[in-house]
Amino acid sequence: MRVGMLWLDDDNRKGITDRVERAAAYYRGKYGQTPTLCIVHPATLGEEVFQGVGRMELRTSKSVLPDHLWLGIRESESVEPAPAMD
C-alpha cells in the first residue's frame, strides 16, 4: 500500500474488529472503494483476535502510531493509471 487513510480510534472499549469496521465504512463512503488492507501498531491489536472484515487483511507495524489504523488497497490489487495518450 502506497497511499492510504490514517484513522485515529482510541475507543479502547471496542474490539479491534469493531474499530476496523467503522474505519472501513468511512473509507468506503469517502473513496468509493472497500479497503483490503489495514495496518495497526502491535499494541493496538494486543492479544485480541481479529475476526475479519470482508476481504480485509490485518497487519501490524511499529511505524503506525498506537490507536491509529492505516487503511487502503493492497498494492497487488491497486489499479495503475493508464499511460497518457498524445
Identify whether 82 is part of a domain: no
Identify whether 45 is part of a domain: yes
Identify whether 54 is part of a domain: yes
Residue 48 is predicted with a pLDDT of 77
Identify whether 85 is part of a domain: no
Residue 49 is predicted with a pLDDT of 78
Straight-line distance from the first to the last Cα atom of the chain, in angstroms, rounded to the nearest whole number:
30
Distance (Å, rounded) from C-alpha 68 to C-alpha 62? Answer: 11
Identify whether 24 is part of a domain: yes
Number of domains in the chain: 1
Identify whether 40 is part of a domain: yes
| Residue range(s) defining the domain that contains residue 70 | 4-74
Total residue count of the chain as it appears in this document: 86
Confidence (pTM): 0.81
4-24: average pLDDT = 93
Q: Scanning the structure block, which residue is given the C-alpha cell 482510541? A: 10
Identify whether 30 is part of a domain: yes
Residue 65 is predicted with a pLDDT of 95
C-alpha cell of 28? Answer: 468506503
Q: For residue 12, name the pLDDT band (cuts at 50, 70, 90).
A: confident
10-29: average pLDDT = 93
Give the model confidence (pLDDT) of 41-83 as tens digits: 999 888 777 878 888 899 999 999 999 999 999 887 555 544 5
